[in-house]
Amino acid sequence: MAMRIFFLHDYPVIKSGYDLAKLLPEIETLAEAKKAKAKLIRRLSKGNRKSRRLAKKLRRCKKRHRCWSDMCQVCKRLFGRWYGAQVIPLFEGQDILLVTLVPEKNSRPPGELNLLEPLKMKGALSKKFALPGLEKAIVIGGIDISFNVHSDNAWTPRWQPHFHLIVAGISKKDLWAVLRPRYKKSIEIPRPTHSKSVTDLPEAVSYTFKSFFCRRVSYIDENGEKQARSVSLKVHEMEEAAVFGDTIKITDRLFLRNVRHYGKRLVITSKNSSRNTAQGRKYRFRGHKKGKE
């Protein structure tokens, strides 16, 4: 069967000055992505029919014939680099926020991640950004999915899909005046909403479209403060995430508001944009890793 077609059916051209693989040393290399993919394929090959089918598909994914599965580490890396190269120039020199939103209603028990509907989740967020006061917000980002556990079993483990977003064209105060009351705090989600001003644009942009999902472990530190750290998913969690990820397109996790894609380009559509049109600014290369493909 042909690959799932989406707007990146063709190979993206990534301007080297905006290539996250060159800008951020911590971005995984192609070799690392291939290694992670091989590990996943080995795991899936031992699984049930669905898993084995996915393993076969991932194995067939080759240069110029990419599978674009949301579970293919190589395709996601390429998508992430395209995304970064499109998003960074849109926000250069602007005051922007890195925003995290955790909608509790989208959590799923282990084994039920397949019931998540990312398009519905995005639709609900679009409705919120259509509320009075938020119409001008320019928003780009994606759905990230973590497997949340508590080190003392204070609550039941769960998949928790959430958004990481770049938000421009609106003040922090105005944003939270509308959004904060709409996100419920709970024992599992003590901080359903947070934001910070962006000082490192490439890093913030890469954060808004993650290429792999994590296990998030909450714990209470020695001062009694609530903390969380991210670690790798366990193999069976990875398998569940992989089988789910294969049912969606990479772009199903991409959220855009007042931004459109025209072919392979992302363009801000809001007339109120204070978009800095200065072209050609180059970021200093901070990495040394090669970013081919």
Give the interface with Zn ion as residue ranges (CB under 5 A).
61, 66-67, 72, 75
> In terms of CB distance, is 24 or 72 closer to Zn ion?
72
Least separation in angstroms between residue 21's CB and Zn ion is: 16
Distance CA(31)–CA(77), nearest Å, equals 11
Distance CA(255)–CA(165), nearest Å, equals 8
> In terms of CB distance, is 66 or 257 closer to Zn ion?
66
Least separation in angstroms between residue 207's CB and Zn ion is: 22
**Who's near 152: CB < 8 A, 6+ residues apart?**
219, 220
How far CA 278 is from CA of 83, 90, 125, 275, 282, in Å, comes to: 19, 10, 31, 9, 11
Least separation in angstroms between residue 74's CB and Zn ion is: 5
> In terms of CB distance, is 58 or 166 closer to Zn ion?
58
Retrieve residue 143's tokens: 């759905």
Distance CA(157)–CA(73), nearest Å, equals 25
Least separation in angstroms between residue 57's CB and Zn ion is: 8
Retrieve residue 65's tokens: 């014939």
Distance CA(187)–CA(292), nearest Å, equals 44
Least separation in angstroms between residue 289's CB and Zn ion is: 20
Distance CA(176)–CA(165), nearest Å, equals 14
Least separation in angstroms between residue 245's CB and Zn ion is: 11
**Who's near 156: CB < 8 A, 6+ residues apart?**
109
> In terms of CB distance, is 54 or 72 closer to Zn ion?
72
> In terms of CB distance, is 66 or 162 closer to Zn ion?
66
Distance CA(212)–CA(206), nearest Å, equals 12
Helix (H, G, I), strand (E, B) or coil at 180: helix
Least separation in angstroms between residue 65's CB and Zn ion is: 9
> In terms of CB distance, is 75 or 165 closer to Zn ion?
75
Distance CA(105)–CA(176), nearest Å, equals 19
> In terms of CB distance, is 161 or 245 closer to Zn ion?
245
